[in-house]
């Protein structure tokens, strides 16, 4: 459906908040906290942004976008070209990061702009009268995203703000936060090193089953990554070196390989595995789908076998 930008506001250095309404006045589809939206931008790119409304309503969507210095054209376009009145195509809200049913306290741990899905969760938990704490980590006070929400009367008693910390101090602060809870469900979103730290500390404190995360960044090359070959159905083989995605290799070889986000969250590039084993780096497939060995997302995932034969 088409949506129109109805307002744009600055909410932290390099962060702009956009409100959208449907172009024809029809109600917007409902969503649960943690959901994100596909936006087709004026330059043709499709990007995913978490919805972060205080009160979800069929009248408007709200997203916050940080301008990424290494932008591949998504955040830069929204910061430089989008205006009030700009029309965008949007998809249905999708959610791979929903709140579970646990009655344990919820720790919502945000690194930078990773606050957006967690803010929706915080408002939902607040409405439901459930116990939670939202911790927002940022480079410095100016870089803190959505400061008005974090310091609002509704939320401030359940929020802690951590700015200007080095990695050692970040580790201590996270450990201290977790130490305040004998049991908790931990939800985290932010840069990969931040989420890795949360995962390491949270798994020790609460167990891996209590950890939930979402990333909107391409994963960094993993230490165990190695070159592999993709074999196509016609027998043709392509080399995938370390540091280059399988998707890029397929496209370079002229193979028709649809894609959208290129960071492993949308599932557009999903392809069936004929033989071989994948090393999954995406956040689209469920744990069961990953364990099934049937699917491969070439934009981010790799192979643990020398050859991965794909249904292409
Ligand atoms: S292009 Fe979105 S998951 Fe691969």
- Across all residues in the chain, what is the average pLDDT? 92
- Taking the centre of ligand 1 as the mean of its atom positions, its distance from the CA of residue 46, in whole angstroms, is 10
**Beta-carbon contacts of residue 155 (< 8 Å; ≥ 6 apart):** 122, 123, 126, 134, 149
Nearest to 190 by CA among 253, 132, 113, 267: 113
Locate the ligand 1 atom nearest the alpha carbon of residue 300 and give its number. Answer: 4
Q: Cα of 266 to ligand 1 centre, how many Å?
A: 5
* 177 CA from centroid of ligand 1 (Å): 34
- What local confidence, expressed as pLDDT, does residue 45 receive? 84
Contact criterion met (CB below 8 Å) for 20 and 60? yes
Q: Which of 216, 251, 263, 312 to mutate to test the pocket of ligand 1 (most atoms within 8 A of CB)?
A: 263
Q: What is the pLDDT of residue 222?
A: 64
pLDDT at res. 220: 59
In this model, does residue 9 exceed pLDDT 80?
A: yes
Cβ–Cβ < 8 Å for 135, 177: yes
Confidence of residue 72 (pLDDT cuts 50, 70, 90): low
pTM equals 0.78
Tell me if 278 sits within 8 A of 308, measured CB to CB. Answer: yes
Question: pLDDT band at 71, cuts 50/70/90?
Answer: low
Cα 235 → chain centroid? 36
**Whole-angstrom Cα distance, residue 192 to residue 196?**
6
Q: How far is CA 153 from CA 13, 160, 191, 210, 312, in A?
A: 22, 14, 28, 29, 54
Substitution candidate for ligand 1 out of 297, 301, 302, 312 with most atoms within 8 A of CB: 297
Chain segment 248-283, per-residue pLDDT in tens: 999 999 999 888 778 887 788 999 999 999 999 887
Q: How confident is the model at residue 311 (pLDDT cuts 50, 70, 90)?
A: very high
pLDDT score, position 221:
61
pLDDT tens per residue across span 103-124: 999 999 999 999 999 999 999 9
Give the per-residue pLDDT at 69.
Answer: 75
Q: Is the pLDDT score of 175 beyond 80?
A: yes
Q: In the structure, what pLDDT confidence band is assigned to residue 223 with cuts at 50, 70 and 90?
A: low
Tell me the three-class secondary structure of 37-49, residue by residue.
EEEECCCCCEEEE
Residue 214 is predicted with a pLDDT of 82
Distance CA 82, CA 73 (A): 12
């Amino acid at each position: 459906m088409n949506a129109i930008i109805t307002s744009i506001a600055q909410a932290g250095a390099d962060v702009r908040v956009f409100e959208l309404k449907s172009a024809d006045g029809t109600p917007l589809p409902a969503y649960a906290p943690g959901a994100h939206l596909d936006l087709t931008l004026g330059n043709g790119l499709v990007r995913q942004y978490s919805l972060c409304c205080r009160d979800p309503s069929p009248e408007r969507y709200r997203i916050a976008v940080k301008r990424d210095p290494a932008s591949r054209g998504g955040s830069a376009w929204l910061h430089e070209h989008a205006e009030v009145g700009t029309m965008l195509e949007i998809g249905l809200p999708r959610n791979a990061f929903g709140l579970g049913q646990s009655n344990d306290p919820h720790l919502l741990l945000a690194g930078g702009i990773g606050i957006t899905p967690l803010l929706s969760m915080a408002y939902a938990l607040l409405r439901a009268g459930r116990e939670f704490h939202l911790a927002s980590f940022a480079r410095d006070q100016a870089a803190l995203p959505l400061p008005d929400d974090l310091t609002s009367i509704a939320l401030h008693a359940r929020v802690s703000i951590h700015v200007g910390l080095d990695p050692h101090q970040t580790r201590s602060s996270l450990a201290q936060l977790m130490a305040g809870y004998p049991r908790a469900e931990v939800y985290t979103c932010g840069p990969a090193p931040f989420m890795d730290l949360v995962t390491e500390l949270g798994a020790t404190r609460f167990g891996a089953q209590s950890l939930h995360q979402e990333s909107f960044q391409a994963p960094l090359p993993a230490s165990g990554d190695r070159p592999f070959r993709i074999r196509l159905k016609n027998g043709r083989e392509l080399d995938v070196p370390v540091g280059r995605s399988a998707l890029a290799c397929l496209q370079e070889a002229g193979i028709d390989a649809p894609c959208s986000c290129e960071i492993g969250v949308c599932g557009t590039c999903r392809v069936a595995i004929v033989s071989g084993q994948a090393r999954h780096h995406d956040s689209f497939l469920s744990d069961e789908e990953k364990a099934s060995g049937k699917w491969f997302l070439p934009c981010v995932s790799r192979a643990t076998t020398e050859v991965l034969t794909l249904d292409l």
